[in-house]
Structure 1
Amino acid sequence: MKISDSLKGIIVETICLLYILLFVYAALSKLLDFENFQVQIGQSPLISAHASWIGYAVPIVELIAVVMLTVSRLRKAALRLSLALMTTFTAYIFIVLHYSSFVPCSCGGILEKMSWNVHLIFNIVFILLAIVAMLLHEKLDQQISNRDYSRSLKWIAGIIASGTAIVIFLFIWSEQMMHYENPFIRRYPRHAVMFNSKLDLKFNSYYFAGITNGRIYLGNSTAPLQLLSADTNLKNKKVERIIFTEKNVLFQRPLIRVMDQCLYLIDGSVPAVFNGSLKDLNVPKKFNGLPYFDQAEPLDSSRIVLRSNKGKDLANIIGVFDNEKSKSNYNPKLLQKQIDGVFDTDGRLLYDETSQKIVYVYFYRNQFITAGKNAELISRIHTIDTTSHAKLKVSYLKNSTERKMSAPPYIVNAGAAVHNNLVFIYSKIKGRFQDEKTWDQAFIIDVYDVNKQSYLMSFPIYKIKNEKLKSIMVTKNQLYAIIGSSLVLYDLKTILKKEIKSAE
């Protein structure tokens, strides 16, 4: 059945009107809530790195297409532009649904009213409408025969192929930038962790001592020989007392560590390290010949990694003490001085039993270090924020023999945990396109892959009243956080479990 030219004209006009309504609504909805739109683009698993210019480009191009669609002599170009836009949007949604690491929230406009799958179908319908309008307009414009549609079809195929290729290119480029050259844009996959339960500790003096054999252990800084434990679901709580019979040891800041079936009592200000069996809670074995230190983590029953002040000008230095040899092996090149070698190199010393790596996370700069069990450097990895140089003011007192901070420090990384080649860092720095509500209501944890030396994702841990996040600990399936006087358990969801498994 032949369609009259008047009906063809009506169909083309109707399709153009539908596109005008679609683009006007989509562009205005983005511009009226532009900050939120840019935040949503920044959370995209495909184009995060390009959020700064895509946020402006999309609504502007949509409005350009609207103007062109209203001008008769620009109708052909306008329909081609409309098809190109819808193709890129459709390719974007298809890749998000089938190939991206996670499916983000909506990105403004009509998409907020639809699911991703419904919007994909919606876009495909509009692509088909654009193709129909292009073919009918071409026939009206040149009075071509049905056999002469090949040129128009080539144009359509070229536009669809080009639009899809652009999205794929942006996706690959963005992934490279986000993981290895991140412009300080965080990605928040939905439900990376999920709240499970909370244990009221009554006091805010608890800290993580370790986890082994299905139980998590906490020490108490005001009751040094007390050991609190619970199963991994925070049930079956038990409080025990460590047996310590050694006399004439003047502990000042003793800490408990639990690893495998060993129990450690550590105080670098004495200095002293005692260890024994977790089973009988006795720590009779003493490490001899220890240097003074301010942080230490056990590596095995006879060795610890420690941070001391044996470096030049009493700068921080990391080394491994071997009790069997009564000797410390320091690596003066691990920590890099920027200001004074003490405050500027301050950080959190960690050890992961699974990967057998030492990890040191700087507090005041965007970097953490990984090292082997002999303190040999493996890698220096930058976090995604931009603070590469510590922002500190140090004053020297008593003829330069004492030093102190003369202004509050600019904290970058406030805490960290490591598990199986993944480093979890509690960041204090707000990223680009950061959602204000999430930033105000939650602690932000950034996740890095040590093997790939890349940023993976971020997730929020929501605050409990106005309590501070003291520390975190991560296992294969759970994340634990001490927030004020509460021990909070979060279950790791599929996206994080996959990353932990792939990092093995």
Structure 2
Amino acid sequence: MTLKPQIRNIIIEIICMLFVLLFVYAAVSKILDFENFQVQLGQSPLLSAYARWVSYMVPIIEITIAILLCIPRLRLFGLFAAFSLMVMFTSYIFIILHFSSFVPCSCGGVLAKMSWNAHLAFNILFVFLAAGAIVLRRGSNDITSHGLKFRSVIMKIGFLAVASIVAVVALFISSEKIMHEDNPFIRRFPSHPAEYVHEIDLKYNSYYFAGSDLSKFYLGNFTTPATVRSIDQSNYKQQYHNITLDAENIYFKKVTVMVRDSSFYLFDGSVPVYLTGSIKNWKINDEFNGIPFFTRAVAVDDNSLVFRSNNAKNAANVIGVFNKKAVTKTIYCRDLLQKQVDGIFDTDGILLYSSELRKIIYLYYYRNEFIVADQKGGLSYRGHTIDTIKHAKIKVASLNDDTERAMSAPSFIVNANAAVYKNLLFVNSKIKGSYESNKLWERACIIDVYELKTNKYLLSFPIYNIGNMKLNSFAVTENNLYALIGSRLAVYRFNQIIKKEMLSR
């Protein structure tokens, strides 16, 4: 059935006005809440790397198309542009729903009230409206060759649709590569990757995380160093365990207890002493003889540990490995830590060990770098956190005829705390990224997650303050993150977006 020209023109006019209304409303909504719109783009799994210029271009394009649709002689060009833009929007939502690692928040305005599936249906409707208006508009110019004209229009529409989809897919692939490998300091905050589920009042703020096994996690206490507090991961039942220790001839200064699987390790690097035992009876049954002085230590297994000491040139920090059964018990890995200022403060950091990967991890406090090494201290690679602080921003002064050193200005901490579980490195960053809210940073501490096997940034999530108390330290198990916040212990449960990344690559 052939439509009369008057009816056809009315239909085209209605469709054009609908697009004008849509684009003007959408553009004005974005401009009025531009900061939020830019933040949402920054959290997009497709456009994160291009959020800045996309946030400016999209409102400009929408307003431009609306103007073209209001000018009769440019209306056809405006319809093609509207069709292309709606195909891009539709492709964007389809990829978000089916191929993205997470689904971000929606756009502003009335569309924010829609679910993503409703938003997809809404966009598809407008794609067909634009295509229909183009066919009606072109078909009205040549009645005698209507069949040929129709095929030509359909081919142009099809080509434009494919080109628009390819453009969005290219943006997605490019943005993903940039975000994971060359991140321009844009964090991704998926919806609830770790949900708050429980809180325990520990009464005191002197606890630290000692470790975990399959069913429990353990807390040490600096004020009662021979007592370990265990908490069941399923029902939060608690027990206290006293380590049997004959320490008459040991002059402890700062005792640390570490639990891994069925063993515990009690050590003090200032003595130095390193003792081991079983959590079945909490009795010391072995001592590592000949161990050097150390400032940090992490158990590797019942025969070896990795440590940090001041045994390098000018008392600088150095990583070492001690194996009580080896012919050469102590091996120093002098090339792992790299000096920038003094070799002491600038190389200060957090020492970790992943038993699943059999890797040593060392995260610097004052720069955006971490080191991954094998059990013998051989360098695997140097990774970087997503912030931009490559050089430690510290000032060091020499005291007492250069026999002592101290910070001469407030330090600029980049990475405050960290934990490792299997192939994932969790970092408590102190640096605010692009498109991030000041309110969020006032209310929470941010945890960034990295994949160690592929050396990629994955995502971020907040750990919220309890009252005016912020995160002190945290530990990670397969299902949970445990956060010490003042004298409180907060439990966060991981959702599938994090759990599926554990040794999934």
Instruction: Tell me if structure 2 keeps the 8 A contact 1:427–1:446.
Output: yes
The residue type equivalent to 1:463 in the other structure is N
Aligned-partner SS, 1:500 = coil
Aligned: 1:495 with 2:500: no
TM-score, normalised to structure 1's length?
0.98
Aligned-partner SS, 2:224 = coil
1:23-42 matched pairs, under 5 angstroms: 23-42=23-42
Change (3 A) 1:144 1:268: farther
CA deviation profile, 1:369-395 (whole Å, cap 9, x unmatched): 111111111111011000010100111
Deviation of 1:436 after TM superposition, in Å, equals: 2.9
Aligned: 1:116 with 2:120: no
- Whole-angstrom CA distance in 2 between matches of 1:378 and 1:118: 47
CA deviation profile, 1:278-313 (whole Å, cap 9, x unmatched): 111111422211211110011111211100001111
In structure 1, list runs of 5 or more residues that go unmatched.
none
Aligned: 1:44 with 2:44: yes
Aligned-partner SS, 1:69 = helix
Question: Hey, what does 1:309 align to over in structure 2?
Answer: 310
Structure 1 residue runs of 4 or more that deviate by more than 4 Å after TM superposition? none
Aligned-partner SS, 1:300 = coil
Instruction: Tell me if structure 2 keeps the 8 A contact 1:297–1:306.
Output: yes
Deviation of 1:45 after TM superposition, in Å, equals: 0.9
Query: Aligned match of 2:436 in 434, 439, 451?
Result: 434
1:221-370 matched pairs, under 5 angstroms: 221-233=222-234, 235-325=236-326, 327-370=329-372
The residue type equivalent to 1:69 in the other structure is L
Deviation of 1:141 after TM superposition, in Å, equals: 3.6
- Whole-angstrom CA distance in 2 between matches of 1:351 and 1:501: 15
Deviation of 1:144 after TM superposition, in Å, equals: 5.4
1:3-402 matched pairs, under 5 angstroms: 3-143=3-143, 145-147=145-147, 148-233=149-234, 235-325=236-326, 327-402=329-404
Deviation of 1:44 after TM superposition, in Å, equals: 0.6
- Whole-angstrom CA distance in 2 between matches of 1:399 and 1:474: 44
CA deviation profile, 1:319-367 (whole Å, cap 9, x unmatched): 1112234731010000011000000001000112222211111111001
Question: Hey, what does 1:416 align to over in structure 2?
Answer: 418
Aligned-partner SS, 1:499 = coil
Deviation of 1:3 after TM superposition, in Å, equals: 1.3
- Whole-angstrom CA distance in 1 between matches of 2:470 and 2:227: 23
The residue type equivalent to 1:85 in the other structure is L
The two structures, once aligned, show a CA RMSD in angstroms of 1.2
Deviation of 1:109 after TM superposition, in Å, equals: 3.4
Deviation of 1:142 after TM superposition, in Å, equals: 4.2
CA deviation profile, 1:206-225 (whole Å, cap 9, x unmatched): 00111114111110001111
Query: Aligned match of 1:470 in 465, 469, 472?
Result: 472
CA deviation profile, 1:233-268 (whole Å, cap 9, x unmatched): 352201121111131211111011111211211101
The residue type equivalent to 1:390 in the other structure is A
The residue type equivalent to 2:465 in the other structure is K
Deviation of 1:467 after TM superposition, in Å, equals: 1.3
TM-score, normalised to structure 2's length?
0.97
Percent same amino acid among aligned pairs?
A: 49
Instruction: Tell me if structure 2 keeps the 8 A contact 1:304–1:322.
Output: yes
Deviation of 1:143 after TM superposition, in Å, equals: 4.2
- Whole-angstrom CA distance in 1 between matches of 2:468 and 2:324: 43
- Whole-angstrom CA distance in 1 between matches of 2:66 and 2:274: 74
The residue type equivalent to 1:394 in the other structure is V
In structure 2, list runs of 5 or more residues that go unmatched.
none
- Whole-angstrom CA distance in 2 between matches of 1:379 and 1:481: 29
**Alignment coverage as a number of residue pairs:** 503
Deviation of 1:113 after TM superposition, in Å, equals: 1.9
Change (3 A) 1:3 1:379: same
Aligned: 1:404 with 2:406: yes
Instruction: Tell me if structure 2 keeps the 8 A contact 1:197–1:233.
Output: no
The residue type equivalent to 2:219 in the other structure is L
CA deviation profile, 1:425-473 (whole Å, cap 9, x unmatched): 0011000011333222111110111111111111111111121312111
Question: Hey, what does 1:456 align to over in structure 2?
Answer: 458
Instruction: Tell me if structure 1 keeps the 8 A contact 2:463–2:471.
Output: no
